[in-house]
Amino acid sequence: MNQILSADHEDSLKELLNISMGQAACKLAMLSNHPVTLTVPSVDLASPERLMEMFGDLDEYYFTRQPFFGQMAGEVITQLTKQGGRTLAGELLALNDEDAMDSQTFKDCLLEISNILSGASLRGLCEQIQLATRTQPPVMYSPARQPIPKNKWKQALVLHVSFLVESVSFETKTIICFSEDGFNVVVKRLDEWL
């Protein structure tokens, strides 16, 4: 990467991310009718191998991927805990406990949650730094079967935050990964903003 991520860049990104992720948390809270807590955003530079390590125990999560493009490119990866996921999906669909939810309906619900969080997070961030991006729909993703290709990123700027719905023991982590070109665009825009 040509640009350097300074402490000022990192602080600015955290501040901007906190605002955009707060908007995403509000959307999830309204949709689920449950309070949503979010963590302090963190900013890292990561290789594909390091990113895979950041995912933790792959058996505990569902994963989605959502590419974005425009003035910057990258991908939003959302981790959704298996614990509490079915309960939250049932509540979002207003199903009674005895109603069975087929696996496709459940996956569709997870994709919708992912789309809400990643869409609001990325859109909020891009609006604040005045960059136009568009997203593709999210898809289910298995890091064990589809590792991040090393030729896609040598190093990515990774912004991540966790959303917690305590009442149903459900947590998601939204990770925004910028490609090398996307990283340079973000740093340049932050320089203008600072």
Query: pLDDT tens, 155-194?
Result: 677 878 889 998 888 988 888 888 777 778 888 888 887 7
Q: Which helix (H) or strand (E) holds 80?
A: strand 74-81
3-class secondary structure, 172: strand
Residue 152 has pLDDT above 80, yes or no: no
Residue 100 has pLDDT above 90, yes or no: no
Q: Is 154 or 63 the better-scoring residue by pLDDT?
A: 63
Mean pLDDT, rounded, for 34-52: 86
Confidence of residue 35 (pLDDT cuts 50, 70, 90): very high
CATH number, domain 7-193: 3.40.1550.10
Residue 20 has pLDDT above 70, yes or no: yes
Mean pLDDT of the chain: 85
Q: Where are the alpha helices (DSSP H) in the chain?
A: 7-32, 48-54, 85-92, 103-128, 180-193
Mean pLDDT, rounded, for 102-110: 90
What does DSSP say about strands 74-81 and 139-141: parallel, antiparallel, or unpaired? unpaired
Name the burial class of residue 131, with classes exposed (0-12), middle (13-18) and buried (19+) by CB atoms within 10 angstroms of its CB.
Answer: middle
